[in-house]
Structure formats: C-alpha cells, structure tokens
Amino acid sequence: MKDTLLEIKDLNVIYKTYEGTVAAVNGVDFALDRGKTLGLVGESGAGKTTTALSIMGLVPSPPGIIQRGRVTFAGQDLLTLPEKDMKKIRGNRISMIFQDPMTSLNPVLSVGLQISEALVAHQNLSEAEAERKAAEMLEKVQIPGARYREYPHEFSGGMRQRVVIAMALACNPRLIIADEPTTALDVTIQAQVLELMRSLKEEFATAMIMITHDLGVVGEVCDDVAVMYAGRIVEMGSLDQIFGNAMHPYTLGLFRCIPDIEEESSTIHPIEGLMPEPLDLPKGCPFHPRCPQCMEVCRQVVPEACEDNGHRVLCHLFGGGERRA
Amino acid sequence: MLRYFTKRLIFLIPVLLGVSIVIFAIVHLAPGDPAEVMLGPSATQEDIGKLREQLGLTKPLYVQYWIFLTNALKGDLGRSIKSNAPVLEEILERFPATLTLASLGMLFAITVGLPLGVLAALKQNTWVDALCSFFALVGFSIPNFWVGLMLMLLLSITIPILPSSGFDSWKNLIMPTIVLGIQTMAVIARMTRSSMLEVIRQDYVRTARAKGISDRLVLTRHILTNVMIPVVTIAGIYFGHSLGGVVITETIFSIPGLGRLIVDAIRAQDYPVVQGGVLFFALCVGIVNLLVDLLYAVLDPRIKAQYRSAK
Ligand SMILES: Nc1ncnc2c1ncn2[C@@H]1O[C@H](COP(=O)(O)OP(=O)(O)OP(=O)(O)O)[C@@H](O)[C@H]1O
Ligand SMILES: [Mg+2]
C-alpha cells in the first residue's frame, strides 16, 4: 500500500437495544488508496451503513457503541479525535451521500443554503461568496444555478440526489462515502446519477466508497470490491479478482442473483434463507446455515482471513493461500 | 397568495354569520325580560310593555335578528341597556386590556414552553426530561382558576409582593399572565418535546451533521424550524382556547377587559352587550387563525407553494 488514504482495522460496532445487543460490525478491515473507488456490497443489514457512519463519527449514540478498532484517515486516527476536530473533517475532507434523496434534504431550507452551509463552515467564505460557489456547484451537477433559492419539494428525486452530490462535493473532499446513492431512483435516472458521480469523481480526484447491493453498479464504477456479510468482510479484492475469480460461496451466490438478460429463461437463483439476525449470530461462520458447501468445521470455528495477492477471503474452504475444494 | 388570504377572509363571513345566529338565539330564548330588568321590581306592567315596544322586543324574532344583523354590518351593535352607551364603544374600550393579557399569556406560554420541550427532548429519558414532563403535566392538569387563587394566596396574601386586582401597573399583569398561559405553555412544551424527538431522527438532520456545521446551527436552523410547524398549529388552536380563559382570569383578578364585560352583561341581562361581545370574540379567533396560517407559509415553503397554487 503506497498511498493509503483510509485504513480501517478490526472495527467492531454494536447497537444496544431493548431486544438485546446487535453486533452490527464485527471486525471490519480494509484500506483505500487515494483517488480509488471501493465498492462495499452486501445484503440489507450487513452493516454497510454502520461502517460508513463509523468513519464519519456519526454512529447514533445511544444505541450505537464503537467497541474496538481504528479508523485512520490521512494519518489521523478518527475514532480518538475530539468532536471539535472531527467537525473540521466532516463535510470538508470526508463527506457522505445518503440513501434516500427524498428525506435527506431539509424541506424548509433552500437547496442553495444547504449547499453553502458546508462552505461557510469550512472555507471561511462570506455568505455571498458561499452563495456564488454553491450556485457553481449546482451547475456542476447540471442544475441551473438560478434555482439556488428553490426548496427541495420543487425538485424531482434525481435532481435532489444531484443536489446532495453537489453538497457533498462542495468542499472538494478527499473521500466521499456514497451510501446506496441510486437505490431510491428509477433505473434511467440511476444511470444518469452514476455517470455524473463518476465524472465528478474523476474531475475532483476524490476517493470513494460506493455502498450498494447492486453488483452492476460495482462493475461500472469501482476499482476494488469488498463483500460484506453479517458485519464482516467475507471477501475483498480488485474488481477483476472478484468479478473474474470470486471464491467465497456468498459472493458466488450474489453473482447468481443477477438476472441474466441474455439468457432466455429469467430464472434468478437467490441465495437460500435469510441473513441471520445480528441479535444472535450463529456459532462458527455466520454464513454456514445458508452455505451450499458447508462443512463440519464451519459450524464450530469462525474462519480466519487468508490472502493471496491482495485477494482476501474469509472461508474455511480456503486456507494457506490455495484452494482446497 | 394574497388571493388565497382574501378568500380565507371571505370565508370568515359565514362563520361569523353562524356565530351571530347561535348567540342571538341563546340570548333571546333565555328566560328573563330585559325590560323588566331595566325598570326594576316597582315598574307597572304598562311601563314594561311600553319599553318592550321601544326596544323592539315585540317584533318577531327573525325581524329582530335581521335588524341586529344589518346594523352589525354597519358597525352598530346597538346600545347597552345598562349604560346606554354604544356597545361597540364599550367593547373597544375594554379590548386593549384583553389583547394585552392574551398576548402576554401566549408570549409566556411560548417562551417557557418551547425551551422546556427542547430541553426535555435533548435530555430524553434523564431526570431533566422527567422534571420537564412532570411540570408540563401539572401545568396542563390543574384548572387555571385554581392556579389563580393559589397564586393570589401566595403572592398577594402570604408574601404580599403582587397586587391581587386592578390593571394599573406591570405588577398587575404577572399573575394573570401565568394563569392564562400555563395550560398553553404545558401543551406547547409537550408538543415541542414530541416534535423534537421526531425531527431529531430525520435523515436531513443526519445530513446536516455530516456537513460538519456547529451543533447550534444544526439545532436552530435544521431542527427547530421543523419543530415549529406542529407547535404553531397547537399554539394557534390553544390561543382560541385561552380566550375562554380570559373570562375567568379577568374575573379573578378584576381586570376591566372584554371577558369581564360579557360576564357582567350576562348577569345584568344586558343582551346587546352579550351579543356584540361574543361576536367580537369570534372575529378575533377567526383573525388569529388566519394569522397562524400566514405564519405557516413563512415557516414551511411547501405550504407556501400550496397557497400560491390555490386560487
Ligand atoms: N440505530 C440503530 N439501532 C439499533 N440497531 C441498528 C441501528 N442502526 C442499524 N442497526 C442494526 O445494525 C445492523 C446493520 O445495519 P446497517 O444499517 O449498517 O445495515 P446496512 O448494510 O446499511 O443495510 P441496508 O442495506 O438495509 O442499508 C442491522 O441489523 C440493523 O438492524
Ligand atoms: Mg444502509
């Protein structure tokens, strides 16, 4: 790793609820280089958003507790950083795009104000300068700057998400975390927004974590891929490694889930069963109840990561760097 | 937008018409004869008859109502039976005291209730929250006449620092303001708390935090503006409600306001004053509701847009 921007080591996050303790993130490890895009994929409840919020220092507390781990961003340990300094990073050097554009903008404030806020907070701009810059950002996401004073309800879903993107890019951050930025949009708009994000990412030379459960999106925009299951990264590697040589049974299952348009029959092969309740994870490998290649050891022992040329997998089928099955 | 409000203003007319019919009916169908009251027990049947004639009380009710209505539209609410002064004049003379009291009560309710609710929500499930909620519950539950009497007992008699009646200095206003505002205060505090808890977990608040702006800005700009919308609704409703409290408050503290005027008029069977006073109250409530709607448009651009498109 020559030019590491973000490094997460052994991150553990739990939520303490009335029903019990939810182990949302269980020892996540990954690193991201400057300017690169990492795809974080996984089913609903895998802990993707929680991982992202941990980086932002925004895990809701209560009920969330970051138990263990290190998040190093440009040499700084974010988890031990005082809130005051964290505020200088949030929205400035790391910014986040949230899932639902319909609810992530404040309905009673103009979009222009919502974009300029970060500029005023981080770049010491006067209100007027911030306003000009915010209008410029609007233009960047293909919305006329003249609509600066309009309110979120005056925009369509796709435009709102573009406003959110403008907001996230306003201070030219080093890292953008996009949490399912296109899930709530319809397919044609999804493509537009993705294309926009990709071109802006290039223009601003920003690193990005793209959270999604859509492998198609990953294939289009990511350099690296991390597959998350029940709070763990079960497989990680470059785009080619994952798309060309997926190893973990869960990853293979995910690929089988993509409907193949070329194929005549439209059978999808979903992974059997549901992700375990994070309230009580099964003993051993958390995927074993659904795994088609489950072995005896899988029921008893949590697998250790094994890595080969940057391709990491967390499965008993693979040990010592070579395939056993 | 102006058109929307003109329309709303016009809609006030049927409301006032309805109120006028109801109050007219109640006053005129109630037992008791104003002519008898005016002349006293020693009057002869003949004198009473003559006076009834003069007052127009012998005409059929619907004719009487028509006369009342057409005069009222011209701003003439008749003359007081007791003082013979024009009713409108009497009302306008008493109105400033009532307006002052009602406004102060509302001001008290908001300046105490809002921070209390915000505090309770920010310290959710702590003793601070419990204390605020308890305070709000008490404020809401105890009848305001009792609050008035207890305050008077405490602050005018046991520790005589405030005058118990009259309307000459700011000191006279303190207790009535509390009595009038306490229930609205409690309602606002509770509404603010629940609205805060709702807004705090909205996505847009998280978005705001993710921008790295100060906590104070998140609270005032992103949270409170949204919290205010339901709070204003409830405050508007309770403002009308608290006008009822004006009657009690003015009576307890002998404040020469509109409420007292009406109560005294009812006792004296001075029906033109009762009619006129109630109608005036109804007009006030209507106007306050309109102002609340206007405030909505200021607070919420979505509502403003609705007003615009509503022709
Ligand atoms: N505020 C919270 N309180 C309690 N539990 C929570 C909270 N937020 C998340 N969780 C739980 O933590 C686990 C991980 O949630 P998270 O939101 O990180 O998943 P995700 O991968 O982002 O899922 P999705 O694709 O649905 O967004 C889930 O089981 C979820 O129920
Ligand atoms: Mg999520």
* Contact (CB<8Å) B207/A109: no
Q: Is the Cβ of A62 closer than 8 Å to some Cβ of chain B?
A: no
B196 min Cα distance to partner chain A (Å): 14
B199 min Cα distance to partner chain A (Å): 10
Write the pLDDT tens digit of every residue in A82-91: 999 999 999 9
Across all residues in chain A, what is the average pLDDT?
86
For position A325, what pLDDT does the model report? 39
Write the pLDDT tens digit of every residue in A241-259: 888 888 888 888 888 776 6
A135 min Cα distance to partner chain B (Å): 17
A193-202, A277-286, B54-63, B167-176: range with lowest mean pLDDT: A277-286
* Contact (CB<8Å) A100/B206: no
Average pLDDT, stretch A101-119? 91
Interface test with A, best of B129, B200, B211, B221 (most A CBs within 10 A): B211
> What DSSP string runs through A194-252?
HHHHHHHHHHHT-EEEEEES-HHHHHHH-SEEEEEETTEEEEEEEHHHHHHS--SHHHH
For position A323, what pLDDT does the model report? 44
Write the pLDDT tens digit of every residue in A303-314: 888 888 888 888
Query: Which of A12, A21, A43, A48 gets mutated to test ligand 1 (max ligand atoms within 8 A of its CB)?
Result: A48
Query: A186 or B120: which carries more pLDDT confidence?
Result: B120
A177: amino acid identity, one letter: I
Confidence of residue A324 (pLDDT cuts 50, 70, 90): very low
For position A316, what pLDDT does the model report? 84
Q: Is the Cβ of B213 closer than 8 Å to some Cβ of chain A?
A: yes
> Which of B211, B299, B302 is nearest residue A121 as measured by Cβ atoms?
B211
Q: Which of B23, B22, B55 is nearest to B36 (CA)?
A: B55
Flag whether pLDDT at A320 surpasses 70: no
Query: A204 or B30: which carries more pLDDT confidence?
Result: A204
* Gyration radius (Cα) of chain B, Å: 24
A6 min Cα distance to partner chain B (Å): 18
CA distance A259 to A263: 9
Closest atom of ligand 1 relative to the A279 alpha carbon = 29
Interface ipTM: 0.86
A265 min Cα distance to partner chain B (Å): 40
* Contact (CB<8Å) A87/B214: yes
A39 CA → ligand 2 middle, Å: 14
A281 CA → ligand 1 middle, Å: 14
Interface test with A, best of B199, B207, B217, B299 (most A CBs within 10 A): B207
For position B163, what pLDDT does the model report? 84
> What DSSP string runs through chain B?
-HHHHHHHHHHHHHHHHHHHHHHHHHHHHSS--HHHHHH-TT--HHHHHHHHHHHTTTS-HHHHHHHHHHHHHTT---B-TTT-SBHHHHHHHHHHHHHHHHHHHHHHHHHHHHHHHHHHHHTTTSHHHHHHHHHHHHHHHS-HHHHHHHHHIIIIIIS--S-SS-SSSTHHHHHHHHHHHHHHHHHHHHHHHHHHHHHHTSHHHHHHHHTT--HHHIIIIIIIHHHHHHHHHHHHHHHHHHHHHHHHHHHHTT--SHHHHHHHHHHTT-HHHHHHHHHHHHHHHHHHHHHHHHHHHHH-HHHHHHHHH--
Residue A277 is classified by DSSP as P
* Contact (CB<8Å) B301/A107: yes
Flag whether pLDDT at A281 surpasses 70: yes
Average pLDDT, stretch A86-107? 91
Flag whether pLDDT at A208 surpasses 90: yes
For position A321, what pLDDT does the model report? 41
A156 CA → ligand 2 middle, Å: 22
Q: Is the Cβ of B203 closer than 8 Å to some Cβ of chain A?
A: yes
Element (H, E) at A50: helix A48-56
> Which of B222, B299, B305 is nearest residue A106 as measured by Cβ atoms?
B222
Element (H, E) at A32: strand A20-33
For position B26, what pLDDT does the model report? 86
For position B285, what pLDDT does the model report? 87
pTM for the whole structure: 0.83
Q: Which of B101, B51, B107 is nearest to B251 (CA)?
A: B101
3-state secondary structure of A51: helix
Flag whether pLDDT at A276 surpasses 80: no
A90-104, A232-246, A278-292: range with lowest mean pLDDT: A278-292
Q: Estimate to the nearest angstrom the gap between the alpha carbon of A84 and the chain centroid.
A: 25
Query: Which of A22, A59, A177, A209 gets mutated to test ligand 1 (max ligand atoms within 8 A of its CB)?
Result: A22
Write the pLDDT tens digit of every residue in A8-35: 999 999 999 888 888 889 989 999 999 8
Confidence of residue A262 (pLDDT cuts 50, 70, 90): low
* Contact (CB<8Å) A87/B305: no
Provide residues with CB under 6 Å of ligand 1: A 15, 17, 22, 24, 42, 44-50, 60, 63, 213, 278
First to last CA, chain A: 30
> Which of B203, B229, B302 is nearest residue A98 as measured by Cβ atoms?
B203
* Contact (CB<8Å) A98/B206: yes
Contact B236, B292 (CB under 8 A): yes
Intervals of chain B under pLDDT 50: none
